[in-house]
Structure 1
Amino acid sequence: MVRRLLIVACLLLLSASAVRAQTPSSDAMTAARSLVTTMKLADQYKALLPAILLGLKPALTQDRPEIERDYETMMPMVADAFEPYYTSMVDGIAAIYATNFTAAELRDIEAFYRQPTGQKMLEKMPVISQQALAVGQEIGRKAADDLKARLTEALRQKGHKL
């Protein structure tokens, strides 16, 4: 019985130290929050709100003009209600950065983003990401078509009817 308790205690100590190792330092969290602010991630999230509301509008208003009018007048209230989500988003993303980088590394990254080239990268990143996604999808589609044709031919050569 004592041996089992000792084993359980050791496991608890090991798991607690593993959790502590994954918890970022306050210095790293401070640096990460500053980086996330410099990267304007909250602004990018705020820019999504109109699209979210536009997507919700048909389901909520049901093409009824009287509901649409009230829906439109509620927009400032909705934007205010979203403010805590922006804060949570900044904290959550900061924690991710702080877990993956040291405080010094985060300050180095932020220094880059504060420079004109870093600012340009932040400005261009949405368009670049969209273009890169399109390229990836197109090449992935071509690769899948090619692989399908090759595999189909190889299976036919083995006598399978496809």
Structure 2
Amino acid sequence: MRRNFKWAALALSLALSPLPAAAQQAGAPQAPQLKPVSASAMQAARDLLAVKNVSQVYMNAVPNIIQRTKDGFLANNLSYQKDLNEVAVVVAQSMAGKEKEIGEQMAKIYANDFTEQEMKDLTAFYKSPLGQKLLTAEPNAIQASMMFMNQWAQSFGEAVVAQFREEMKKRGKPLG
């Protein structure tokens, strides 16, 4: 199941990447305003996310952020390597389990976007043989689609460059 959300993990890692404070304030999208949801809707959302094994997406968020933070400090403070390594262990212990906040917020988002019954129906679907096949096969389909789109974009980009060159050459202004 780990590979089921490989593509989503990449998206999450990009989303969790540290940005300069100005970029976070100026251009970062704001979290959606969520309405309060019932306990049963939250449980239905948690069940849906569990059957989809979504926790695989964010399970390493805390250690990855701690590692990146330590590496950032280490880049400018090489003589502190031993201390930073020790502090990283302390920080990891004190922050253990914080990634569950991601799962709870995701459940709240799902509970805002879907009715309780829709989430129960989706959970039942994902538990079905076809749902299980989707969970297993979809990451491969997404990866193959992304590879195709990248190859297509490369080829299309080359065709666009060639046409620009041709058109500019007709105008007596060849491009280098």
TM tier relative to shorter chain: 0.5 to 0.7
Mark the CA change 1:86 to 1:142 in structure 2 (over 3 Å): closer, same or farther: farther
SS class of match (1:108): helix
Q: Which position in structure 2 is the counterpart of 1:9?
A: none
| Among 82, 86, 89, the residue aligned to 1:73 | 89
Alpha carbons 1:24, 1:98 under 8 Å: kept: no
Partners of 2:64 and 2:140 lie apart in 1 by: 17
With the length of structure 1 as denominator, give the TM-score of the two structures. 0.60
> Deviations 1:30-79 (Å, cap 9, x if unpaired)?
42232123223234201343333332232223444422441353264144
Consecutive unaligned residues of structure 1, counting only runs of 5 or more, are 1-21
The AA in structure 2 aligned to 1:70 is E
Cα root mean square deviation, aligned: 3.4
Residue of 23, 40, 64 corresponding to 1:51? 64
Rg (Cα) greater in structure: 1
Match of 2:158 among 142, 145, 149: 145
CA gap 1:128/1:55 in 2 versus in 1, 3 angstroms:
farther
Contact kept, 8 Å, 1:113 with 1:122, in 2: the verdict is: yes
Structure 2: segments with no counterpart, 5+ residues: 1-33
Partner of 2:46: 33
Q: Tell me what 1:136 maps to.
A: 149
Q: Displacement of 1:117 after TM fit?
A: 4.9
Length-normalised TM-score, structure 2: 0.56
Q: How many correspondences in the alignment?
A: 137
